[in-house]
Structure 1
Amino acid sequence: MSFLGELRVDATHENLMVISHFVHGIAHRLSLSDKVVFELELAVEEAATNIIDHAYQEAGGKILINAATTGEQVRIELTDWGAPLNPANVRPFDITAPIETRIQGGMGLHFIHTLMDRVERDIAPRSGEPNVLRLFKRIEKETAETRAASPMQELNAVRTISEVMTSRIDLDELLNLILNKLVTTINAERGTLFLIDEQRRELWSRVLLDDLHPLSEIRLKMGEGIAGHVAETGRVVNILDAYADPRFNPAVDQSTGFRTRSILAAPLVNPQQTIIGVVQVLNKRDGAFNARDERLLAALASQAAISIENARLYQQEIHQRVLQRELEMAHGIQASFLPEQIPHVDGWEICDFWEPVRGVAGDFYDFYPLEDGRLALTIADVSGKGVPAALFMALSVTVLRFGVSLNLPPAEVIRRANESIIASQRSRMFATVLLGYLETETGMLQFASAGHNPGLLYRAAEQRCDYITASGVAVGVFPNVDFAENNVRIEHGDILVLYTDGITEAINADEEEFGEERLEALLMEHCDMAAGELCGTIVEAVSAFAEGRALVDDATLVVIKRLGKDVS
């Protein structure tokens, strides 16, 4: 092993440039190729950023970096004394996953392991002890041909694009910066950065560096022209005489008056090895594009593709945050449709549980005191989930409450709600509903159902459970239908459980549903509990059954218990 150098700096973002200079100094001593320099710098910068942001956070600390050669590899070792990071605890990076999952996933770790030949870690058992990260990269040296060109200008170009890779810059600004740097560094007259329009299978010019004509956009079919050929084959193309190449399309020259002499084009390939575009420069000012230019363009195009992917992810993240804020507002608005507080009725205990699966829900429940002293109880489940179901829920709540406020019988309320909903919406959504009026003095419940799950009634005297229901289809499906009405008496000690299918259809690892039988068994076993305690027990049992899996449907639960005669 041959020692090359050591650097100890404070773990701050301002020192990332110092770390970058250290890496480039090592690369210069070893005469490393552009590709190896780029990949080493990117990996070291990402590792140092992880230490700053995660190991130390805002506590501050030191980073120790040393470099050495071992056999045919260069080894760069980073040591910190912050919070240990175990990669096994980081969610793997997946570009196909939803945005919130991708952002939280290990994108930086993915890049490090992709760019390096080998990565080793010594993870400390606790903060304050050294964590060591070793990065290994095979040494590839510059050739005599490539070493002759201006390294400082090219180094600055690589550094500039590396710096914007982790910045949160607007995508258009980023692409303009990248293309300007490419054209300046390679000393070309013009440049175009094409991105692939996946829907139309076309290349389109996202950035055009040409102030001499008003052309706003170029569109090419895949395989058309030089850029289309590069997008289709994924190969760098260097053309000395454009008009002598049969692949060249002179249409742009003819429409603008510009004369293309030579062309150098390279694909933009993201970390998933997917071609996302093409960068093309025209007419080198001091001669022909050479092998050095090809290598430099390919290296910078690789960085540019990662920068573009980062910017896209950031824009998606911003959009996701806006949507999340809107969902939070919608959740608050929807919650305002639900009862602000549970009604207190002497001789009765009532408890509720409501959990949307997507922030907002189609489930709802309601308590409404009638003028004659009865208490109206409603539980309903709208088809679908998320925002559409929540909007339909708002409509359903409104029409049901209006019918209840008129003191109409439960079956008539549901019938009118059905007609109103069918007349007011064209979404073909529907809702199941169970609506009942409870006489709290006698325990008599008058109710109707629109295809909702049957209520589960525990009979204390007989120590058994009955299912209560009435015939009727979901509201919003068929016009001009009638709904049956039933009556049941809730005696002292009896318990009525109303629920939506998010409770009974919770699924475990074996794809089994929780089911009504388990719910009934729970009710029988814990019938001596207070309503609030019983409600919590049911929710915990459903969660345990699902083994921590997220609910697949909105879940609502209402537990109503009539106290014994000797309980005040």
Structure 2
Amino acid sequence: MLLRSRILLLFALATLLVAASVALPAWLVLRDGEERAAGLRNALQAAMVREAVDHAAAPLVATLRGAALDATLLAARQAGDESALRHRLAELRQSIGLSGPTGRIDLVGGQGQLLAAAPAAAEPLASGATALQRDLAPGQIFAGFEAEVESPLLLVTSLRLPQGDLLSVSMAAEAALGQIAGHLRADLLLRDRAGAPLFSTAPELREQAAALRAGERLERAGRLYRLEATVLLNSAGAPVGELLVLADATAETQSRKLLLLVAFGLLVLAAGAICRALYRVIRDALDPLTELARALQSVAGGDIFASAAIGPRRDEVGAIGEALEALRSNTLALDRLQTGNRLAGLRERALIAQEIARLTAVLEGPARREILGLLEGEGATLGPAFARMSSHVVQQHRAMATLLAERTRDLALVRQALDERMQLNRMREELDVARRLQLSSVPTTFPQLDCLQLHAAMVPAKEVGGDFCDLVMLDEHRLALMIGDASGKGVGAAIFIAMARSLLRAAMGRGATPAEALAQANDMLAADNPTMMFATAFVSVLDCRTGVLTYANAGHNAPRRRGARGHESELPVEVGLALGVMDGMDFDDQILRLDDGDMVLMFTDGVTEAMGPGDAMFGDARLAAITGDARIADPARLVDAVARSVEAFAETEPQADDITMLALHWRGHATAAPAPAREKEDATWM
């Protein structure tokens, strides 16, 4: 490449660098401005959406203020008459025209409990009812959206009453969202946290709900719209959905494109004019250099009489011409000097080659033949020959040292690996024995009584777990049922829970009640507990003649109970303190008579706290749905259904805690003495 071309290319690169140094800060300033503008737009839209929500909730606000002054409702609340409260709320609901599952009114007490609702419900309308009672001043109103699983989206308005109660009214969110769209004078799309559409004023927005992103631009009917996002929060402060509003951005986009086009055009024109002027200057300065280059090429080719046709100059080009003349006069002297040096070098090479050939005699085999081959012929290369000879000698020495070191190191590694393998095998055998011993403690044989059916299962989270379940016939009419869970997992938890199980079983065998057995075991565990471990336990005794269940609890999960008619709930259980925390603690016995057909499931927290994708927990609601299924009438089927549901819920998530279950089906009062025990084929689910 010619010098002038390189100079022009360098100038072009410098121009691009300058342009980039100007354009980058400008782009950063524009982007910062866009981010600030986006923030202001989001804040303005959030305020407009809040105003629209308040406007849509205005009828509900008027309804609340009227209901808050209702004398009949206030009198029933003061009297604590729950039936009168529900009746009056139903009358108010009918009088204000609320209908369907979305039209509801309820009253929440000062502790967040639902006092009454019309229609009847189990939970308050406002998910953050307790927070509203704390944050709202008397007479203050909060309006927002509420969403529940498998329930329609609702617009809920809540009023804090002077006496501290919370009065809430709801309506269908679709009507309110339609009013919000009209208030904002724009199309909008509401989607849930998973991206599924909940409401849309335009069908094409609903179809593209999952693919739309906040800040994205859409073209509709020749206009360009920008999606502005606002997160809708419920009364508890949790997001219930994202509201996307289509804002017209046509004029803004066109103005920006025009500005960028004009700036780019001016930059191109300025760069072209500067390059043209620079080319003229370079051409006038480099033409004499071209002539000098031609003369130098002739001299390099052997023509010592070549000269450059340039006049006298007082710049760098003139200095190069004078140097060319000096080069011609010195060429002959240099040639003579090079001839003498070449003859001396030939003599020295011959002497060095002779000495290298003598040293090569110490090498053997292919190495010696390689060195002699390099020294043969007229074009012998002394440097490579000497280097190869030195390399062969060094390689032989290093190979011997390396071989000795490798053999020594390999022997040590083999011995170390063998020792570690033997230790690992011993540990695995010990853990396997501990696991089989613990699983063998799970009951596999159950009393064969006409009045009941039993089934138990355990799945440790590690090789050994920290759970236990046990059952024992105290006499011919009384059956003891126990389940427990130690803190932590692994060998330590297994040892601790085994101690607790042995203490409880011994106390029950001596005739202690469930509460007395828990107290005795707690004193023993707390007296010698250097690791500060603890265990929860639920102990019960069933009278097989009457169906009376006497039980006590030490911090364990309350068992689930399903009646013969399908009603499902927790057993009324006092929580109690876990075993091993503090000695001298007292526990209380509770008594419950089982009805014919009752199903009772005792379980550890490994069931309800099983983790699924997205850090979701299995929870009491999913467990209640399974135990409440009246089609599952066999304890073994119930335990299997719960275990398979937990496994399907967890998907690929690892098991975080031990899972243990004990199911009891009370079929009716016993009419005969217990028969010999029979063994179940599969008492442990894996």
Q: Which has the higher strand share?
A: 1
TM-score by length of 1: 0.46
Q: 1 or 2, which has the higher helix percentage?
A: 2
- Structure with bigger gyration radius: 2
